[in-house]
């Protein structure tokens, strides 16, 4: 049974497109002390006028992750729940369908793998 905090994390994940129209959430799982997720970016390819310049920073992965984590943290604060996210995150670009399927399977199988490893703590999502 998911905790209220885990339920809120899932809700924020599912609402991602409401805040970032170009970000399409896919596979997702809440683990006892971390989350895994796949996000597709549905932005049109554009080029900047000068090579080596960056596009809008509000439309990148960091802004999407920041919005997601802020949504969960703000809710936890309003509920008077002690909660902190770890600093940073691990990201990876999948280059083909095979790699994407491996990532999806890893996410789907992660809860089973976690249960098999009894040395890990229950963490904050307990």
pLDDT digits (tens, 9 = 90+) for 59-108: 789 999 999 999 999 999 999 999 999 888 899 899 999 999 999 999 99
Would you say residue 121 has pLDDT above 70? no
Q: 4-42+56-116 — its CATH code?
A: 3.30.70.1290
Q: pLDDT over 90 for what percent of the chain?
A: 57
Contact call for residues 122 and 3 (beta carbons, < 8 A):
no
pLDDT for the residue numbered 56:
65
Under the banding of pLDDT at 50, 70 and 90, the label for residue 126 is: very low
Helix (H, G, I), strand (E, B) or coil at 30: strand
The owner of tokens 């905790």 is 3
Going from N- to C-terminal start, the domains of the chain cover 4-42+56-116
Q: Buried b vs exposed e over 21-50: b needs ≥16 C-beta within 10 Å?
A: eebebebbbbbbebbbbbbeeeeeeeeeee
**Mean pLDDT over the full length of the chain:** 85
| Angle at 120 (CA atoms; ends 66, 98), nearest 5 degrees | 60
46/112: higher pLDDT: 112
Radius of gyration of the chain measured on its C-alpha atoms: 16
**pLDDT given for residue 74 in this prediction:** 96
pLDDT at 119 over 70: no
Cα gap 101→97, rounded to integer Å = 6
């Amino acid at each position: 049974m998911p905790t209220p905090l885990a339920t809120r994390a899932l809700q924020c994940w599912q609402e991602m497109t409401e805040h970032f129209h170009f970000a399409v959430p896919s596979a997702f799982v809440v683990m006892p002390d971390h989350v895994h997720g796949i996000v597709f970016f549905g932005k049109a390819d554009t080029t900047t006028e000068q090579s080596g310049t960056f596009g809008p920073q509000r439309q990148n992965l960091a802004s999407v992750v920041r919005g997601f984590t802020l949504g969960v943290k703000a809710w936890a604060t309003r509920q008077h729940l002690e909660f902190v996210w770890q600093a940073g995150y691990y990201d990876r670009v999948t280059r083909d369908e095979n790699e994407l399927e491996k990532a999806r399977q890893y996410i789907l199988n992660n809860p089973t793998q976690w249960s098999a490893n009894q040395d890990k703590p229950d963490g904050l999502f307990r």
